[in-house]
Amino acid sequence: MTNPGNVAAAAQSDDRSTSNWLKFIIPSTLGAALFLMPVPGGDTWTIPFGVMVDWLNGNFGALLKWALVVVTMASAVLTLWYSYGPGKPSTPMMVQYFRTTAVWTGLRCLGAVFTVLYTTGTGPEWIISGATGGTVVGALMTNLLALFALASFGLPLLSDYGFMEFVGALLSKSFHFLFRLPGRSAIDGLASWLGAAALGVMLTVQQYDKGVYTTREAAVVATNFSIVSIPFCYVIAKLVGLSDVFFAYYGCVLIIGFVCALILPRIPPLSRLPDDYKAGTTNHIDATVREGETLVQAGTRLGLARARIAPNFPEFIKNGFDNLVFMWFSLVPATVAIAMIALVLVEYTPVFHWLSAPFVPILNWAGLAEAEAAAPSLVVGFADMYLPALIGKSIESQETRFLVAILSVSQLIYMSEVGAILLRANLGLNVGHLAMIFVIRTIIATPIAIFLAHYVVF
């Protein structure tokens, strides 16, 4: 993704040539159609992206299964070779992909071992059971491989060619009115929604560094609008067997996100953060919408500016391929390991049941079926976004699975990614603050999700 921060400079020169209009309109329309347009899928409605993921899984399931074996094995061997063996990575790309710390090397190797043992059926019961290996290797990872393959080429259509800036500008006044934030926050929020949560956080931090946001505003944007992107929401819904109600599910996620964003900035810890700009910054002007401009004019100007610096077709293909290889070799094996370790702890130890015991009576009181099975999902989301959905996959009650899938993406602060980036960003948020925000989001999201599941969706 080209950095939207560079758009400010590009926006100075107003490129309204036909070729730039086409560069803005064609990819943006394709992206919007791929991820946002409802299409019939089986008995219900889905998005074209979902149809493609299902088609890949349906027709190339076996290939994806063995591709996962090859990817995790290759990743483990090459990481060991270049990080701790005699191999000397000769290119920056090899360094970035295969030289890593002991912890990540260990996780990649574990990921390979788990994948091989599950796929060949030679592992012990605690690895190859449906609740552990079956869920992670058999269901989650094959979906993720397909998702990565499609999203690494599809999402840039939405995020790199001006659509994000156009819609962000249209929403900028609403964001200012509803959330007391600079209009620019709408674009940063959309970067998460249409791109990636981690990238959304980074763009927010960059705006803070430039003096567009105060410390409080940056923290509010990062902790409220770093929504998990649409394709991941689809995978979560599919994982827990709710892809047939994807639109209702995603609508609920948006409603809950909206309510959280109304409440959280007005209460501690966010309300107590200083409303100061970063020291040394002087120009605190949000230039998203200029004086005398309508929202559509501003959106068009920003969209065209973004399109002007967007990658051309060969670069688009190269960037997508680079990202795909990086995801498959660097991230997928570690995801297998982390998810497997968590599920083994859930299935074969009482650790998560101890941690979640206080929530069982509350969920029982709220009338939730299988409260004991759902309770761990309320706490594990702080560690990683996938975990609640993985735990909740085997719950029989559709409403309870719905709650778990909602929490998985609505809790939003997971330390494996967004939390870690927020801590590094020096926005005045510490682990205690993040835990508090996580708990508050869970407290807000749970009753709304139960209510919507009970009275609206099912």
* Least gap, CB of 228 to other proteins (angstroms): 6
Token pair recorded at residue 456: 């609206």
CB of 342 to other proteins, least distance (A): 12
**Single residue of 35, 49, 118, 148 touching other proteins by CB under 8 A:** 148
Pick 335 or 377: Cβ nearer other proteins: 335
- CB closer to other proteins, 107 vs 360: 107
Backbone φ and ψ for 324, nearest 5 degrees, come out as -60, -45
* Smallest gap from residue 104 Cβ to other proteins (A): 6
Nearest Cα to Cα of residue 243 among 405, 450, 33: 405
* HSE (side-chain half, CA atoms, 13 Å) at 125: 2
Strand partners, 40: 45
Please tell me whether residue 428 binds other proteins under the rule CB under 8 A.
no
Rg (CA), the chain: 22
Buried b (16+ CB within 10 A) or exposed e, 260-291: bbeebbeeebbeebeeebbeeeeeeebebbee
CB 266 to other proteins: min, Å:
28
Which residue in the set 51, 74, 309, 331 belongs to the binding site for other proteins (CB under 8 A)?
A: 331
Could you tell me the smallest distance in angstroms from the CB atom of residue 168 to other proteins? 17
Does position 347 interact with other proteins (CB under 8 A)? The reply is no
- Which residues fall within 8 angstroms of residue 238, CB to CB, at 6 or more apart? 50, 53, 54, 143
CB 234 to other proteins: min, Å: 12
Query: Is residue 250 a contact residue for other proteins (CB under 8 A)?
Result: no
User: In angstroms, what is the minimal distance from the CB of 421 to other proteins?
Assistant: 7
Q: Is 314 helix (H, G, I), strand (E, B) or coil?
A: helix
**Closest approach of Cβ 159 to other proteins, in Å?**
7
Q: Could you tell me which stretch among 125-133, 181-189, 290-298, 423-431 binds other proteins (CB under 8 A)?
A: 423-431
d(C-alpha 207, C-alpha 8), whole Å: 11
Is 309 one of the binding residues for other proteins (CB under 8 A)? no
- Interface mask (CB under 8 A) for other proteins, residues 370-409, using x and -? --------------xxx-----------------------
How far apart are CB 335 and other proteins at their closest, in Å?
5
Interacting positions 101-120 with other proteins (CB under 8 A): 101, 104
The residue to which tokens 């670069």 are assigned: 315
CB-wise, 231 or 376, nearer to other proteins? 231
Report the Cα 128 to chain-centroid distance in Å: 28
Quick one: which segment of 10-18, 257-265, 266-274, 327-335 binds other proteins (CB under 8 A)?
A: 327-335
Closest CA to 155 of 196, 185, 201: 196
Question: For other proteins, which residue of 31, 48, 138, 195 counts as binding (CB under 8 A)?
Answer: 195
Among 197, 346, 374, 422, binds other proteins (CB under 8 A): 197
Q: Are strands 44-46 and 39-41 parallel, antiparallel or unpaired?
A: antiparallel
Closest to other proteins by CB, 20 vs 100, is: 100
Is the Cβ of residue 215 or residue 397 nearer to other proteins in the bound state? Answer: 215
Binds other proteins (CB under 8 A): choice among 47, 72, 78, 99:
99
SS3 track for 145-178? HHHHHHHHHHHHHHHCCCHHHHHHHHHHHHHHHH
10 Å CB burial of residue 106 (0-12, 13-18, 19+) is middle
Q: Which two tokens stand for residue 368?
A: 């939730």
User: Helix (H, G, I), strand (E, B), or coil: what is residue 247?
Assistant: helix
| Cβ-based nearer residue to other proteins, 384 or 399 | 384
Residue 367's identity, in one-letter code, is: G
Per-residue three-class SS string for 45-70: EECHHHHHHHHHHHHHHHHHHHHHHH
Of residues 155 and 368, the one with the C-beta less far from other proteins: 155
99 vs 441 by CB, closer to other proteins: 99
Interacting residue ranges for other proteins, rule: CB under 8 A = 1-3, 5, 83, 95-96, 99-101, 104, 147-148, 151-152, 155-156, 159, 195-199, 202-203, 205-206, 209, 228-229, 231-232, 280, 319, 322-323, 326-327, 330-331, 334-335, 338, 384-386, 416-417, 420-421, 424-426
